[in-house]
Amino acid sequence: MLVLGIETSCDETGVAIYDSEHGLLAHKLYSQVKMHAEFGGVVPELASRDHCRKILPLLDEVLEAARIKKNDLDGIAYTAGPGLMGALMVGGATATALSLALNIPVLSVHHMEAHLLAPMLEENPPSFPFIALLVSGGHTQLVSVEEIGGYQLLGESLDDAAGEAFDKTAKMLDLDYPGGPILAKLAENGNRNRFAFPRPMTDRPGLDFSFSGLKTYTRNLIDKHKQTNGLPDDETIADICAGFQEAVVDTLVIKCSRAAEASGSRTLVIAGGVSANSRLRHKLEVVLEKEGVEVFYARHEFCTDNGAMIAYAGCQRLLAGQSNNLQIEAIPRWPLDQLSSLNQVNTL
């Protein structure tokens, strides 16, 4: 089955074609990062308009790269949520119109389910069941995954998502947008022990997270530094980045280890933009390997938003006979554990 995947939930237009027999045939991504950088964050209306401009040219490019015609497609999958309403509508409208024109099924995909399944695109994919740490700009969740659609939420952030905490901290340090990967890069040369960042909510039982206190800690640290030493120099900024990153990473590692122990699972999947973080990958592998748990993640470009994960996730559900009607679905808030399993047909 040849499936077209369309991702437009935020500031990345992603289009891909996945073949159930031969794997991923082609994928293209257009990032709006430069456009939003001027404003220091995503401007939803500008995002929707840019998706409109880019989606059809990207579709042509991806068809050409996969050496197929639109008529060869067997199904279409698009991100229906969670995400920005206007941005989601662009992908949904495009996918639904194409499905009507080509007379093939169309399907809504949950953005976080697609992130969670992205490591399945790799050569050595994880096997079900497993536990998953979903860490993106909007979500931080620990999930028990029985099968596709069989998700049980074990814990989540009570305030900021991990990626959001990275981005907000980067902003406080006047780093360029988008802050997360830039902060991570600077952290590589910093001293992670110079400042004693807290490890929030690790001293009590449970699998929930809270990252807003780390933000306040960083704000106070910068203010204090400004009062006594003036503006922080490059070395101090790198040390703050390293200390902050280590605190987030340690917190995530402690909760993953706790979740693995409680569930007895020997497989951990990490997914979402923050799973691209090298320090997080490294520390999880070192700590969890000692506990007999294998860690899986996608290649860098499939950790952050992309069309390939949508095509893959959509293909699994289309193969199982699921599809939408022609109503365009855009669901800005959509809990992951509300999804149906593969053997429930047309329940989306």
Q: Phi, psi at residue 190, to the nearest 5°?
A: -95, 165
The binder of ligand KG4 chosen from 14, 155, 178, 307 (CB under 6 A): 178
Residue 273 makes contact with ligand KG4 by CB under 6 A:
yes
The binder of ligand KG4 chosen from 149, 181, 190, 314 (CB under 6 A): 181
Least gap, CB of 8 to ligand KG4 (angstroms): 12
Identity of the residue numbered 123: E
Q: Which region among 31-39, 226-234, 300-308, 322-330 touches Zn ion (by CB under 5 A)? A: 300-308
Site string for ligand KG4, 228-267 (x = CB under 6 A): ----------------------------------------
Q: Phi, psi at residue 76, to the nearest 5°?
A: -135, 135
Residue 164 makes contact with Zn ion by CB under 5 A:
no
**DSSP string of 115-163, one letter each residue:** HHHGGGGSSS---SSEEEEEESSS-EEEEEEEETTEEEEEEEBSSS-HH
Residue 140 makes contact with Zn ion by CB under 5 A:
no
Least gap, CB of 286 to ligand KG4 (angstroms): 18
> CA–CA separation, 344 vs 244, rounded Å?
43
Strands 106-110 and 294-296: unpaired
User: What single DSSP character describes residue 200?
Assistant: T
Least gap, CB of 134 to Zn ion (angstroms): 9
Q: Out of Zn ion, ligand KG4, none, which partner does residue 167 contact, by CB within 5 to 8 A per kind?
A: ligand KG4
Residue 169 makes contact with Zn ion by CB under 5 A:
no
> Sign of the C-alpha dihedral, residues 312, 317, 320, 321?
negative
Select from 287, 249, 297, 277 the least CA-distant residue to 116. 297
Least gap, CB of 264 to ligand KG4 (angstroms): 28
The binder of Zn ion chosen from 136, 141, 277, 316 (CB under 5 A): 136
Q: Out of Zn ion, ligand KG4, none, which partner does residue 157 contact, by CB within 5 to 8 A per kind?
A: none
Q: Which two tokens stand for residue 194?
A: 């110079």
Burial environment of residue 100 by CB neighbours within 10 A (0 to 12, 13 to 18, 19 or more) = exposed
Residues that bind Zn ion (CB under 5 A): 136, 305
Residues that bind ligand KG4 (CB under 6 A): 10, 115, 136-138, 163-164, 166-167, 178-181, 184, 272-274, 276-277, 304-305
